[in-house]
Structure 1
Amino acid sequence: MNGPGRQGAKRGPARPALLRALAAALPLAVAGCAGYDPGKLDIDRSIQAKSQSSRVDFIVLHYTSTDNEASLRILSEGNVSSHYLITDHPRPRVYQLVDENRRAWHAGVSSWYGRAGVNSASIGVEIVNAGKRDDGWAPYSPRQVAVLATLLRDIIARHRIKPHNIVGHSDVAPQRKIDPGPLFPWKQLAEQGIGRWYDEESARRYELDFEAQGLPDAAWVQEQLGRVGYEAPRSGVLDPATRNVLAAFQMRYRPERHDGEPDARTLGILKALP
């Protein structure tokens, strides 16, 4: 029979056995709690999730506009910093000033492909270089460039950084910055597989088209600058802010002319850039 009375008869004898088991286990539990300190974390890191990636999406390149000693002092003791500094000694030295897992203060107010605050997801590399001087722009030494290329390849491989996310300070902050300047060897690095470049044959073809048909309007220029990552106004007017962005683009891809003036060659390069 399966009525309530029958079930109760079966459960009754089990209760003393359960109580005896609990009584036996209690001293062991108390002993375990005696050595437990909730103020000390015991984190098990033996299992790592497959679904993860680096927090670093960008590399931002700068020049310091001062000498080795001043650059090192400013970047280590001042209100700005970078992850790496490359000196201009005959044998350039690389300093790591900030751990890659921490944020360095190098880009400031910035944006790339609509993502603001580039500092939070970037590695900053400063290169000792005087920048713009009274007699023109200071060149980068071949040894500096070679050391930089080695460093960049290492960072790119570890963080899987995409070519279009290797940028200059002027790319992410075109309204207020001009570094690393028009003498920075973007094309040379791209030929080594570092960073983005355009198809020169396509650019020349588009240039000839623009010469024959006329230049597109300011709205087209602004849209295309946004397409390739720059934060550009969408006013439809070739205003000073748009010229600043176009000048930053020219410094990188057409360094022999960077006046912010649209012409057939500049816009041909812009259209050809992937």
Structure 2
Amino acid sequence: MKALILGALAVLLAGCASGPRIDTRHTSLGQDSRAQFIVLHYTSSDLQRSLEILKGDGVSSHYLIGEFPATIYRLVDEDRRAWHAGESQWNGRTWLNSSSIGIELVNRGYVEDAQGRRLWYPYSEAQVDALVVLLKDIMQRHGLKPGAIVGHSDIAPQRKVDPGPLFPWKRLADEGLVPWPDAVAVAQQRQVFAEQLPDIGWFQRQLAAQGYKVPTHEHLDLETRNVIAAFQMKYRPSRFDGEPDAETAALLAVLNTPS
């Protein structure tokens, strides 16, 4: 009798240890991936230091891509939250750590010369090639559409500038990964806006339509300039001074016009 009781108890405990029995024969169509965005960063340091930082218990990222060679390191599983975005917002979503996959690229970012000018470091071709392959894989697996890839400077324009003006967004556009404005349409719109530039409220509304968190008070303050600069860094990296000019207006107008 004692043996029977002990045997039954062992079976009961084994059942508890394995968790509840769940019927998985039914699946809802009302679902999608928890990952809605991919956020791109640079590390501001070399590979060894980048690994030391990202493997710690502070900032983290799902992936790190080296320079020479362009090795892809997975540091956090995609179904886990990495701490790479911080205080952030895009398309109305806040604190994007919970809804994004972070990719860090080994790149020193910039240094300042004696005049205080930022001298930016380029990305290696092999590194960008590796990034493109990784992005296509992630987007296919998570069902993401072009526009899901953003820079840290897009989601936190008041405090971040990575991946910087030398990041090849146009290359990603050519690979079908991000939207890009038609050059002919931009040139036509630039002529129109050169004659009459929209007011600041227009720029703020257009930037908000792109996804940026931007003031709506219709004044050209520092916060608005930072958002304009982040947009320019992405679509017109030759000049990103935060000035609301005709070319910036043309880029916004074309991007926000349904094709």
- Please, what TM-score do these two structures have when normalized by structure 2? 0.89
- Aligned-pair distance for 1:32? 8.1
Residue in 2 that maps onto 1:96: 74
Residue in 2 that maps onto 1:209: 192
2:100 is aligned, of 117, 122, 127, to: 122
Q: Tell me, what secondary structure is at the counterpart of 1:224?
A: helix
Q: Tell me, what secondary structure is at the counterpart of 1:249?
A: helix
- The reply to whether residue 161 of structure 1 matches residue 152 of structure 2 is no
Distance 2:205 2:153 in 1: 18
1:98-149 superposed Cα distances (whole Å, 9 cap, x missing partner):
0000000000000001111111010000000011123611000000000000
Residue in 2 that maps onto 1:220: 202
Residue in 1 that maps onto 2:214: 232
Q: Which runs of 5+ in 2 are unaligned?
A: 1-6, 114-118
Using the aligned pairs only, state the percent identity: 52
Residue in 2 that maps onto 1:190: 173
Residue in 2 that maps onto 1:36: 12
Q: Tell me, what secondary structure is at the counterpart of 1:85?
A: strand
Q: Which runs of 5+ in 1 are unaligned?
A: 1-30
- Aligned-pair distance for 1:42? 3.6
Greater helix share, 1 or 2?
A: 1
1:258 is aligned, of 240, 256, 259, to: 240
Distance 1:234 1:159 in 2: 33
1:247 is aligned, of 208, 216, 229, to: 229
Aligned pair count reads 242
Distance 2:23 2:107 in 1: 43
1:177 is aligned, of 136, 160, 165, to: 160
- Please, what TM-score do these two structures have when normalized by structure 1? 0.84
Q: Tell me, what secondary structure is at the counterpart of 1:190?
A: helix
Distance 2:23 2:231 in 1: 45
Residue in 1 that maps onto 2:39: 60
Residue in 1 that maps onto 2:91: 113
> Structure 2 vs 1, CA of residues 179 and 45 (structure 1 numbering), >3 Å: closer, same or farther?
farther
Does the CA-based 8 Å contact 2:147-2:177 persist in structure 1?
Answer: no
1:222-263 superposed Cα distances (whole Å, 9 cap, x missing partner):
000001100000111010000000000000000000010011
Distance 1:117 1:105 in 2: 10
Distance 2:112 2:130 in 1: 27
One-letter identity of the residue aligned with 2:72: V
